């Protein structure tokens, strides 16, 4: 799940099987609660199961998060040479003949774009400023 985007149909089928395994059915009806409600956090009194599509996207986003500061890693050098030679990974396009891994990484990039922010400062770490 950390290298490829798993198709939604497969993830839905796996979630359905997990739900059936945990709760089963009686006369064609679910015994307890819906899978969605069981994926809610334990702090809300639920089971805290993971929604697989969100988990898949988070693992792929972690790949980008590891590439950004480590451009000298083997993975980063390979992807940079192939897909974003003259630009930043955040500005790279999918391209016409890109691999499934690259398309999966680009699919997850929106999470970083959504949560990224600029921090204005004097280029010192917080520990340097605070003493």
pTM: 0.65
Instruction: Give tens-digit pLDDT for 69-117.
Output: 888 999 889 988 999 888 888 888 888 888 888 888 888 888 887 776 6
**How many Cβ atoms sit within 10 Å of the Cβ of residue 82?**
12
d(CA 15, CA 11): 6
The chain-wide mean pLDDT, for the chain, equals 79
Cα dihedral value 103, 106, 12, 32, nearest 10? 160
């Amino acid at each position: 799940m950390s290298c490829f985007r798993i198709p939604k149909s497969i993830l839905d089928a796996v979630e359905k099987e997990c739900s059936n395994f945990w709760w089963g059915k009686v006369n064609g009806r679910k015994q307890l609660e819906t899978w969605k409600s069981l994926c809610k956090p334990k702090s809300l009194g639920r089971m805290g199961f993971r929604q697989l599509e969100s988990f898949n996207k988070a693992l792929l986003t972690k790949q980008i998060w590891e590439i950004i500061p480590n451009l000298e890693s083997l993975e980063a050098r390979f992807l940079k040479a192939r897909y974003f030679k003259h630009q930043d990974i955040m500005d790279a396009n999918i391209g016409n003949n890109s691999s499934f891994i690259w398309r999966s990484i680009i699919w997850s990039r929106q999470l970083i774009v959504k949560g990224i922010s600029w921090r204005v400062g004097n280029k010192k770490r917080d520990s340097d400023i605070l003493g």
